Amino acid sequence: MNNNYIIIMAGGIGSRFWPFSTKETPKQFLDILGTGRTLIQQTVDRFTEIAPKENIFIVTNKDYKGLINEQLPFISDEQILLEPGRRNTAPCIAYASYKIQKQNPEANIIVSPADHVIVKEGIFKDTLREVLYISEKEDVLVTLGIQPSRPDTGYGYIQVNEESRLGSLYKVKQFTEKPQKEKAIRFLESGDYVWNSGIFIWNVDAITKAFSEHMSNLAIAFNEIADDFYTEREQKAVARVYQDCGSISIDYGIMEKAQNVFVKPCVIGWSDLGTWKSLFDISKKDDANNVLDGDIHVYNTKNSIIKTPQDKLLIVQGLNNFIIAEKDNVMVICNKDDEQRIKEFVSELQEKEIEKV
């Protein structure tokens, strides 16, 4: 267990969850589910039986260090990796991996987003232990695959090669990012595909070797600043690396190119909680299939999610399949089927320099 390390990616804005998730307070730092714990707190909680607390590294934007200190006071400054800018998942995973390698060349690593929901935590932990046992010894890059329950177009899909296995792991045939509805239906009907959870497991040698082979610019850059890790020079050194690296995901940069990629299919009650619809799917509903949070009274309204301040009375009549969300005097009303456009709305408002975005 002492060689187990956790990398938690916590730098995203979560703009599809606007207006609750904002640039100042993204959704990973919010108690979206009303449990009394924020999403990042819940994420750290579920890993404390897998790795020592001192082996949990949080990669986040420099603007969120105060939120990390406040919500995770036991995490030391050395465990908080501050990105000078947003560059997607490949650079942040590289930063954390090379820093961990400097501390422990025998490290066995789990990478996880900070804002996912996992209902079946016991099964999740057992699954991780099973995969870690394999990744400790093998040169493999593993992702957890979620058994799909619907032809969702908002997730990435992984085709499983059932004829090529390593223990309980299956070789990956191909990745498909957010397919069109017709293709997602075919994927679901085939039974050969799982959702890409964005949760990865590998040993530090396997991932740094993969960076050397497939993203050599990052590998060279981080190897050159290895002596700066855990010193007062680290932040400036990382800033130089980020200045020269592009924005690219770990899926595009490595997982879709490497030949040693495996998937572990699992049923763990997972949701990436990336959108209002995903919150709707996992929330308790009334007799008309509505999710209501606030002083809300509905009439002839169904299949909708409505979240408003408790001190405001809201009457809703005649809606079907809608999102209504209000926070800090900003309200969004959007058809649930068009929720992916919320991110577009935020971008357009930012371009118009609207202050409340």
pLDDT digits (tens), the chain, 357 positions: 799 999 999 998 888 899 999 989 999 999 998 899 999 999 999 999 999 999 999 999 989 999 999 999 999 999 999 999 889 999 999 999 999 999 999 999 999 999 999 999 999 999 999 999 999 999 999 999 999 988 988 889 999 988 888 999 999 999 998 899 899 999 999 999 999 999 999 999 999 999 999 999 999 999 999 999 999 999 999 999 999 888 999 999 999 999 999 999 999 999 998 889 989 999 999 999 999 999 999 999 999 999 999 999 999 999 999 999 999 889 999 999 999 899 899 889 888 877 777
Q: Are residues 187 and 248 in the same domain?
A: yes
Residue 54 structure tokens: 């001192």
Classify residue 278: in a domain, yes or no: no
Phi, psi of 259 (to 5 degrees): -95, -5
Q: Are residues 81 and 129 in the same domain?
A: yes
320 in the Ramachandran plot: left (φ > 0), alpha (ψ -120 to 50) or beta?
A: beta
Place of tokens 């490497």: 258
Classify residue 332: in a domain, yes or no: yes
Model-level pTM?
0.94
Q: Are residues 147 and 287 in the same domain?
A: no
Q: Are residues 173 and 210 in the same domain?
A: yes
Q: Are residues 193 and 307 in the same domain?
A: no
Displacement of CA 160 from its chain's centroid (Å): 22
Going by the DSSP 8-state scheme, the letter that residue 298 receives in this structure is E
Domain boundary among 245, 271, 297: 271
Place of tokens 């130089």: 240
Classify residue 182: in a domain, yes or no: yes
Q: Are residues 25 and 69 in the same domain?
A: yes
pLDDT at site 126: 97
Q: Are residues 206 and 296 in the same domain?
A: no
Q: Are residues 63 and 103 in the same domain?
A: yes
- The total number of structural domains in the chain stands at 2
Question: Closest by alpha carbon to 64, among 83, 50, 78, 39?
Answer: 83
| Beta strands 117-118; 169-177: pairing state | unpaired
What distance in Å separates the CA atoms of residue 335 and residue 73, rounded to the nearest whole number? 39
Domain boundary among 271, 297, 323: 271
Whole-angstrom CA distances from 298 to 114, 195, 301, 305, 322 are: 34, 35, 6, 11, 12
Reported as half-sphere exposure (CB side, CA atoms, 13 A), residue 226 has a value of: 14
Q: Are residues 69 and 144 in the same domain?
A: yes
Q: Are residues 237 and 326 in the same domain?
A: no
Range of the domain at 40: 4-271
CATH number for 73: 3.90.550.10
Q: Are residues 204 and 320 in the same domain?
A: no
- Asked if 308 and 314 touch (Cβ cutoff 8 Å), the reply is yes
- Asked if 33 and 135 touch (Cβ cutoff 8 Å), the reply is no
DSSP of 204-270: HHHHHHHHHHH-HHHHHHHHHTGGGTTSTTHHHHHHHHHHH-----HIIIIITT-S-EEEEEE-S-E
Question: Closest by alpha carbon to 133, among 53, 209, 50, 199?
Answer: 50
pLDDT at site 163: 84
The radius of gyration of the chain from alpha carbons, rounded to an integer in Å, stands at 21
Classify residue 111: in a domain, yes or no: yes
Domain boundary among 221, 251, 271: 271
- Asked if 9 and 250 touch (Cβ cutoff 8 Å), the reply is no
Helix (H), strand (E) at residue 332: strand 330-335
Q: Are residues 184 and 297 in the same domain?
A: no
* 3-class secondary structure, 55: helix
Classify residue 276: in a domain, yes or no: no
Classify residue 42: in a domain, yes or no: yes
